[in-house]
Amino acid sequence: MKVYETTGFISPARIRIALAEKNAIDKVEFVEVDVMKGEHRTPEFKAKNPSASVPVLELDDGTYIAECTAITEYLDHTFPGTSLTGTTAKERAVIHMMQRRTEANLLDAVGTYFHNATPGLGAELEKDQNKEWGEKQGQKAIAGMHYFDQVLANQKFIAGEQFSMADITAFMGLAFAEFAKMTIPAECQNLLAWRARVAERPSVKALGA
């Protein structure tokens, strides 16, 4: 089993956290993809993932799985340990609902802001930028932070009382926001406290190793 990734990028980090939560980091081979040199846009890589993005999971039978949610689903059902995607019908539904909200209202919004309203990854990689759209998505991300702050006023984690893939996505969404020089509103105390707690998880701390 292989994971194609770019070290230090947000989405591959999500998969590393998921693997660490499942105690399965040593069960995969990591293959570096040089995004800054455009390796993700080569015909060879796009044959693995037409979206030309990392990470991509390659199974031993040659199947390629892209998209972090799908990869996390596969890993969660492959390796033992506490579930990241839920076990009951209700848990799975709530986690997937909040996973979608963390992507749409935080991580993806920050990504659009970064790639359109800032220099992003540089002129060679950032084509057809739309600054106005990027700035609107930046506002959406800030609104998302306020929303998740309200959610965390009544529960320990994003999707309830158990850590899940929605927490991984939200945590890395805030990391991306910090990288893009977006500030978490100071009044979002529940969100800030949650972020501090999640940062202490061994799976997250291992990213800095």
CATH of the domain at 45: 3.40.30.10
Domain-ending residue, one of 30, 56, 78: 78
Host domain of residue 175: 89-201
pLDDT value for 118? 82
Count structural domains, the chain.
2
pLDDT value for 126? 60
Mean pLDDT of 164-175: 98
CB 17 within 8 A of CB 203: yes
Domain-embedded: residue 83:
no
CB 158 within 8 A of CB 166: yes
- Residue 209 pLDDT > 60, yes or no? no
pLDDT tier for residue 92 given thresholds of 50, 70 and 90: very high
In what side-by-side order are the strands of the sheet with 64-66? 29-32, 2-5, 56-58, 64-66
Taking CA 102 as the corner, what is the angle to CA 97 and CA 107, rounded to the nearest 5 degrees? 150
CB 2 within 8 A of CB 30: yes
**Residue for token pair 């693995």:** 48
**20-24, 84-88, 129-133, 200-204: segment of lowest average pLDDT:** 129-133
Q: What is the pTM (predicted TM-score) of this model?
A: 0.93
pLDDT tier for residue 130 given thresholds of 50, 70 and 90: confident
CB 39 within 8 A of CB 33: yes
Domain-embedded: residue 207:
no
Mean pLDDT of 103-116: 94
Phi, psi angle pair for 54, to nearest 5°: -110, 150
Q: Which amino acid is at 14?
A: R
What rounded mean pLDDT belongs to the chain?
94
- Residue 128 pLDDT > 80, yes or no? no
Domain-embedded: residue 24:
yes
Domain-ending residue, one of 24, 43, 78: 78
Domain-ending residue, one of 78, 99, 115: 78
The b/e string for 135-168 (b: 16+ C-beta within 10 A; e otherwise) is: ebbbebbbebbebbbebbeeeebbbbebbbbbbb
Return the closest-CA partner of residue 106 out of 24, 164, 168, 40: 168
Domain-embedded: residue 84:
no
Say whether both 105 and 142 belong to one domain.
Answer: yes
SS3 3: strand
